[in-house]
Structure 1
C-alpha cells in the first residue's frame, strides 16, 4: 500500500497551486493523508476528487467550511497499521513522550503545523511523521512532502521528497 503524506498546503496564501510533482503522486497513492492547514476548500475538493482514499484533518488556519467537513483527529487502519492524523502536537521538546501518551492505540501518527519535516519513533514504538509543507518552506531549505509503503503490516520506505525552489 502506497501512502502520500502532506500537510500545510496553505492555498492560495503561500502558493497558487500544489506543485506538479506532488500532484503526480496522487494517482500513485492508495491513500493520501493530509495533516491540516488546507486554508481553502478547493484543495480539499481537488484531493477528494483525485485520490482513491483521503484521510484528512483541519488545522489552526482552517475556517468553518473546512472544519465542517474534516475532524480534528482522524484514524484509519491501513495495511494492518493503526494510523492517526492530527495537525498540532506542540513543541518539539518532549513530542514523542507526549504523543505516545495521547495516542497509545496508534502505530503511526502523521502531523503538521511546524512545516518542519520530522521522522522519529517514541519509546513505545509510535512512529511520528511530519511531511513538512509543499508550498511554504518557512525556515527550511526546501518545500517537502513524504511517501511511504505499508507492506506486511510494516511501515517501510518512508521517503522525504524535496521540491525544487520556485
Structure 2
C-alpha cells in the first residue's frame, strides 16, 4: 500500500500571506501525511494545519517564536512504509550540502528541509534523497511559489514539484 506525502515549508503566515493557497489546502486534504519543514510564524497556522491534515509532522524554523518552539522539535524523525524520514528547517549553505547532511543524518532515506525558499531535489552519496519544497506563499527570488508531493511505495516512488499559478501567489 502506498502513502502520499505533502511537503511544505516557509509559509510565514500571516506575514507573507494571509492564508495557504486553495491548491495547497486541496493537497492537504488528499495527502496521507503533511510534512512542514518550519517557519510557520504563527501558532494559528500550526493549529489550522493540524486540524485539517490526517497526520502532521513538523519542525520549528528560525522565524518561529517561543510558542511554536515549545510545540515543535528542531528535528523530527519518522519511518513511513519503511522509508526513514528526517525533517529539519536549516541545512546550511548549498555547497557540500549532501555530504554534510549524510554526516548529520545517518540512517536516513529522505531528508526534508526548508529555509531557503528554493526547491531542491538531490541525492547524497549515501543514497539519501534531499528535498526542499520551496515556499507556497513566499517565492522570494524564485519564479513561482512551490510545494512538493511524494509517493512512498516500497521506497520513494515519485516526487513532484508543484508550481502555483501566479493568481494564487501573493
TM-score normalised by the chain length of structure 2 = 0.96
Map residues 57-76 of structure 1 onto 2, 5 A cutoff: 57-76=59-78
Q: How far has the Cα of 1:94 moved from its partner?
A: 0.4
Q: How far has the Cα of 1:79 moved from its partner?
A: 1.0
> What corresponds to 2:150 in structure 1?
148
> What corresponds to 1:33 in structure 2?
35
> What corresponds to 1:158 in structure 2?
159
> What corresponds to 2:47 in structure 1?
45
Map residues 7-156 of structure 1 onto 2, 5 A cutoff: 7-152=9-154, 154-156=155-157
Q: Which runs of 5+ in 2 are unaligned?
A: none
Off by >4 Å, runs of 4+ in structure 1 = none
- Superposition CA RMSD, Å: 0.6
Q: How far has the Cα of 1:9 moved from its partner?
A: 0.2
Q: How far has the Cα of 1:129 moved from its partner?
A: 0.1
- Cα distance in 1, alignment partners of residues 23 and 91 from structure 2: 27
- Cα distance in 2, alignment partners of residues 65 and 103 from structure 1: 26
- Cα distance in 2, alignment partners of residues 21 and 89 from structure 1: 28
Q: How far has the Cα of 1:33 moved from its partner?
A: 0.4
- Cα distance in 2, alignment partners of residues 105 and 44 from structure 1: 28
TM-score normalised by the chain length of structure 1 = 0.98
> What corresponds to 1:5 in structure 2?
7
The C-alpha deviation readout for 1:28-67, integer Å capped at 9, x for no partner, is 1110000000000111001110111111000000000100
Q: How far has the Cα of 1:87 moved from its partner?
A: 0.1
Q: Which runs of 5+ in 1 are unaligned?
A: none
